[in-house]
Chain A
């Protein structure tokens, strides 16, 4: 019932919003793309649209070529790791390697099928996936990022505009293979959020789009989970991104380092030296009514029903078992975990040996930080735990070829050895021929779904014995920490004193009556 009323509410909001946008676009833009002759043609393919776009927007495609959205590659300046979607793996669908035909549905390009993709091709840049305003542009799930054949490309091309929560969300809400699966703080409830869900993106309020914070220069969008800024060093306000600042998609860009203005809240500014804004202001994950995945066990995959199709079990609208994927658990409206984080993220790369932690989990990524490195703050993270295939002889995580309909595709033929062999061949990596499973975990920073101030984490949720920060070390938190010895002896002395004066009192009463009787 709650969900239903929410949906009705959202439909109303969408309607209001739509009316606003319709009036808005024509009022602010100096160009009406429906009037451009170049776009009044029947487009047969995505690249045809792009060649029309770059006739006027001459630098656009080359700008895109330099971005992570195109290269799926990122050189971490902190630790020199070559990461990015193309190089790393995760513990969801594991890796796009050997699966580009499917995974490139979220690439800002056309035609990334295999390792031969031409990264210098301008016409293969997909302008529409970010600039569509109609909602009618859809990329095919198995054609290397090309649009679905049903899409009216002329209509979409004539109605381009700025990116929106919908265009960014088309990929980022659905990371990990479904709505809300991956992040815990991003799902399609953010398309038209209310104030309670996200105070900035509130569709009938501040109405931020993703790019209000994630500003771009020359198509390079600010904000990175590979090298996020974990601790603010100096105090400044910056409403527009400047070229010397790599990443302004953070709270400080607008709020500064002393955001708590009221006198009685000023103490909280000092908290910000050790605690990320998100820790208090994003109290729970997956708050929008969409569950996020919490665990994923690939080792149970492979069960087929009588007709030979992968078995599927749904509970409350969530896929909890899938013969193609294994066992999955979900969480909705849940507390994040908390860690010290200094902005450096280390990934487990494909050519590195696995080293499980004391609980047996391999850290697919590691958020580095400590209470005393001077660079860390306490951050909320979603920790996603899984069981995934690895090579027990080489001691490395592996690339499974899951998608497609070829011989080796795991989702077609359910043979791990063949699937991993094909994946590792495609990645150019050695494989022993043995597949086993290993526990892995991965952390995701929680940044979105910022609640209104009244819903921020209350003081005693951390300042208490078994509070949210119970596992955070290296810091003294009043209400959580106390010297057990001092408490023991303190209360003992107070108690003995009390007993002493009570006995003394009884003595006086007793002697009083005793004197009377004698």
Chain B
């Protein structure tokens, strides 16, 4: 038995897809700026990277507002409960069609492992990228703001790239885990339509 549950509200879906597009554009242009390949040219890559970065900042202003006014920020409160069974599920259960140890709901849309991953994203990856990214954006103001005594461009760039690699790795795992729903496309559909089909007999967490 399954039932359809609205998991992702309209703004959430908009936010997710906009962010996905922007992040992929940032990764693509960013690694070109970094010198990993040459596709659009350095100048164009920088222009794109800056524009997209500011777009993402704008998007985040709205997203943060949304998360706090709706209380959705609580979705990211970490829990270690059942993390072990989630790991066991991905390592073993998924291959033998064991029941998913987590039941999605409006109140808990992320499984425990997901929560940890997103928490890592919010607490480590994003701060690293944003702190270094802001510094990078305002490099020409360092002297005026007195930051040139504390910051070195080479280090700022280094940690910005560290963040980029973490983001890239996150993206790879994230893209794959989309396919681990009830069917291969179930999660994808849910993020597009908002509705997820949920096993009623799955255990309530």
Assess the A460–B41 pair: CB atoms within 8 A. yes
23 A–B contacts from the bound complex (CB under 8 Å): A264-B47, A270-B139, A270-B140, A458-B41, A459-B42, A464-B38, A476-B157, A478-B33, A478-B35, A479-B33, A479-B34, A480-B35, A482-B161, A486-B165, A494-B168, A494-B169, A501-B173, A501-B175, A505-B179, A507-B95, A508-B180, A511-B95, A511-B96
Which one of A267, A482, A504, A508 contacts B35 once the chains associate, using CB atoms below 8 Å?
A482
| A-chain residues with CB within 8 Å of residue B95 when the two chains form the complex | 507-508, 511
State whether the Cβ of B64 lies closer than 8 Å to any Cβ in chain A. Answer: no
The answer, yes or no, to whether B20 is at the interface (CB within 8 Å) is no
Expressed in whole angstroms, the minimum distance between the Cβ of A235 and any Cβ of chain B is 14
Which A10-43 residues sit within 8 Å CB-CB of chain B?
none
Contacts of B96 in A (CB 8 A): 511, 515
Q: How many of chain A's residues touch chain B, expressed as a range?
A: 20 to 34
Q: Which A residues, 458 to 517, have Cβ-Cβ distances below 8 Å to chain B?
A: 458-460, 463-465, 476, 478-483, 486-487, 490-491, 493-494, 497-498, 501, 504-505, 507-508, 511, 515
Restricting to A298-327, which residues have a CB under 8 Å from any CB of B?
A: none
B34 — nearest CB in chain A belongs to which residue?
A: A482
A213 to B157, CA, bound (A): 40
Decide: B161 and A486 in contact? CB cutoff 8 A.
yes
CB of B38 within 8 A of CB of A460, answer yes
Known pairs A476-B153, A508-B94; A493 contacts B38 (CB<8 A): no
Q: Give the interface SS of chain A, mostly helix, strand, loop or mixed.
A: helix
CB distance from B162 to the nearest CB of A (A): 7
Instruction: Decide yes or no: A505 and B35 within 8 Å by CB, A464-B42, A490-B162 being known contacts.
Output: no
- Give bound CA distance, A110 to B158, whole Å: 64
A459 touches B43 (CB 8 A): yes
Report which A residues bind B (CB closer than 8 A): 264, 266-267, 269-270, 458-460, 463-465, 476, 478-483, 486-487, 490-491, 493-494, 497-498, 501, 504-505, 507-508, 511, 515
Question: Besides the contacts A494-B169, A494-B172, what 7 more A-B pairs have beta carbons closer than 8 Å?
Answer: A458-B43, A460-B41, A464-B38, A479-B42, A493-B169, A505-B176, A505-B179
A515: which B residues are within 8 A, CB to CB?
96-97
Chain A hits for B41, CB < 8 A: 458-460
How long is the Cα–Cα vector from A476 to B35 in the complex, in angstroms? 13
Tell me which residues across on chain A come within 8 A of B35, comparing CB atoms: 463-465, 478-480, 482
Q: Determine the chain B residues whose CB is within 8 A of the CB of A494 once the complex forms.
A: 165, 168-169, 172
Residues of B within 8 A of A483 (CB): 158, 161
Residues of A within 8 A of B173 (CB): 497, 501
Contact B43 A490 (CB under 8 A): no
Residue B154 contacts which of A267, A476, A498, A511 (CB distance < 8 angstroms)?
Answer: A476
B42-A486 in contact (CB<8A):
no
Q: Find chain A residues with CB under 8 A from B180 CB.
A: 508
Does B46 have its Cβ within 8 Å of any Cβ on chain A? Answer: yes
B19-53: which have CB < 8 Å to A?
A: 33-36, 38, 41-43, 46-47
Chain A residue contacts of B157, Cβ below 8 A: 476, 478, 481-482
> Which A-chain residue is minimally distant from B180 (CB atoms)?
A508
Which chain A residue shows the least CB distance to B97?
A: A515
Q: What's the Cα separation between A377 and B37 when bound, in Å? A: 29
